[in-house]
Amino acid sequence: MPPTVADSGETAYHLQTRSGDLAPFILTSGSPERIRRLARHFDEILIERQNREFLTITGTYKNIAVTGLATGIGAAPTVIAIVEALQGRPGATFIRLGTCGSLQPQIQVGDIIITEKALRHEFVSHFYAPPEIEAVADRDITQALIAAARQVGMIYHCGLTCTTADFFHGQGRAASGFSGVDLSLLSRLQAQGVLNLEMEMAVYLTLAKVCHYPMRAGGCTIVVADRHRDTFMGGEDLAAAEDLLCRVGLQAVEILASKGEAGC
């Protein structure tokens, strides 16, 4: 059986981390490059581990121990990353910093969406919690992200996210060479008040609800695709937006730490 309990001196099978490698605050992203961008804001880097799509960088930010963790795209590798991270850091605070596509007309490319609740359309979390368990973000994390977005000067929206299992048909996009896409999906989600589509958030919020450790989770995503107007962000604009997203995440950590909340 693959080793999972890092505090026994073993190495986490996928993350390749040991006990003490991860900080109480873990900022996550699907993208390793975004985690490297985040780490540029650290005062110092203490540990770096990389295996497959997983990248772990632990350092300090304003004397606060912080870990940046890249999980890879989608719910399945994200669950692996969360479960293994918790073996070495039970009671961690997870803050997802992701990208998304927006659905509502009041939201523009470059805005931040702070998730309060997520629809569990990724299905992987159903292995850990029954469908009736709601994926709700930790209130303290949500409030810290709101305050951070204001301080950084970002336009933000709070509300309902839909986490999907797929980027194409799962988000109402026709995939060349394949039939069967549900072209009514976006309009149905818009009618439900869903603000955005992304691929990992519900996993964090669901696992935090059922984990036997005092895990807590929340997060925000920057809008890189406006599905309502069919507009997109790329190039230097995307790089600048991701940097602002990293600043929001770190500012939220600073707010939480100032209240003496070094994890759970």
User: Who's near 25: CB < 8 A, 6+ residues apart?
Assistant: 64, 65, 66, 67, 92, 93, 95, 253, 256, 257, 262, 263
Count other Cβ atoms within 10 Å, centred on residue 126. 12
What are phi and psi for residue 58, nearest 5 degrees?
Answer: -110, 135
What are phi and psi for residue 52, nearest 5 degrees?
Answer: 55, -130
CA 3, CA 1: separation in Å to the nearest integer?
6
Lowest mean pLDDT across 105-114, 116-125, 228-237: 228-237
> What are the structure tokens assigned to 31, written together?
């993208």
Let me know: does 62 contact 191? Beta carbons within 8 Å.
no
What is the tens place of the pLDDT at every residue in 149-196? Answer: 999 999 999 999 999 999 999 999 999 999 999 999 999 999 999 999
Reported pTM: 0.94
> What are the structure tokens assigned to 134, written together?
């709601």
Q: What are the residues facing 163 on neighbouring strands?
A: 120, 198
Helix (H) or strand (E) holding 208: helix 201-210
Let me know: does 237 contact 141? Beta carbons within 8 Å.
no
Please give the pLDDT value at position 262. 59
User: Who's near 96: CB < 8 A, 6+ residues apart?
Assistant: 28, 29, 200, 201, 204, 217, 218, 219, 220, 221
Q: Name the residue among 86, 91, 114 with its Cα closest to residue 102.
A: 114
How confident is the model over 111-130, as a mean pLDDT? Answer: 98
What is the tens place of the pLDDT at every residue in 201-241? Answer: 999 999 999 999 999 999 999 999 999 999 999 888 999 99
Q: Name the residue among 125, 160, 148, 138 with its Cα closest to residue 218.
A: 138
Please give the pLDDT value at position 263. 55
Please give the CATH superfamily to which domain 6-258 belongs: Nucleoside phosphorylase domain (3.40.50.1580)
How confident is the model over 26-51, as a mean pLDDT? Answer: 97
Can you give the residue ranges of every domain in the chain?
A: 6-258
CA 12, CA 20: separation in Å to the nearest integer?
12
Let me know: does 214 contact 93? Beta carbons within 8 Å.
no
